[in-house]
C-alpha cells in the first residue's frame, strides 16, 4: 500500500523512521540499496506490518511523507484492528482496561 501523509509540522524521513521503529506492531524495513523494503511475501504470517521506502513527499514537502506499508491481511485485518482499537480506547477510560478471571 502506498501512503502519502500530510503532517502539521515539518518531519524528515529520518525522524519518521525513528518514530515508526518504536511503534508497536510496526517493523521498519527500509533499505532500498540492500533491496529490503515492504513486500507482501515478506509480511506473510506476521502480525506486525512492514513500513519502508520512507521519503519526503513531493506534494506536501516539507510537511509530508510518502511511504509503503505491507501486512498480512488474514492475520492483521479488520477484526484484529477492531479489537486493538477497542483495547486502546478502554485503556483511556478512568480505571483503564480490566480483565476478568476468564480473560474477558
**Where do the DSSP E strands lie in the chain?**
2-6, 26-28, 49-56, 64-70
DSSP string computed for 71-92: --TTTSSHHHHHHHHHHHHHHH
Region 5-23: mean pLDDT is 93
Hey, where are the domains in the chain? 2-72
Give the tens place of pLDDT for each residue, 31-85: 989 999 999 999 888 889 999 999 999 999 889 999 999 998 887 776 677 777 8
pLDDT at residue 98 in the model: 58
Torsion angles phi and psi, residue 4, rounded to 5: -115, 130
Please give the CATH superfamily to which domain 2-72 belongs. Dihydrodipicolinate Reductase; domain 2 (3.30.360.10)
pTM: 0.70
Q: Give residue for cell 524521513.
A: 13
Give the Cα separation of 48 and 23 in Å (integer).
Answer: 10
Contact 49, 70 (CB under 8 A): yes
At residue 103 the predicted structure's pLDDT band, cuts being 50, 70 and 90, is: low
Amino acid at each position: 500500500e502506498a501512503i502519502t501523509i500530510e503532517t502539521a509540522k515539518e518531519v524528515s524521513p529520518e525522524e519518521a523512521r525513528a518514530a515508526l521503529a518504536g511503534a508497536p506492531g510496526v517493523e521498519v524495513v527500509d533499505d532500498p540499496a540492500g533491496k529490503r523494503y515492504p513486500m507482501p511475501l515478506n509480511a506473510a504470517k506476521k502480525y506486525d506490518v512492514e513500513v519502508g521506502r520512507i521519503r519526503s513527499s513531493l506534494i506536501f514537502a516539507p510537511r509530508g511523507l510518502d511511504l509503503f506499508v505491507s501486512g498480512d491481511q488474514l492475520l492483521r485485518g479488520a477484526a484484529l484492528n477492531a479489537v486493538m482499537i477497542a483495547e486502546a480506547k478502554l485503556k483511556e477510560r478512568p480505571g483503564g482496561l480490566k480483565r476478568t478471571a476468564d480473560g474477558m
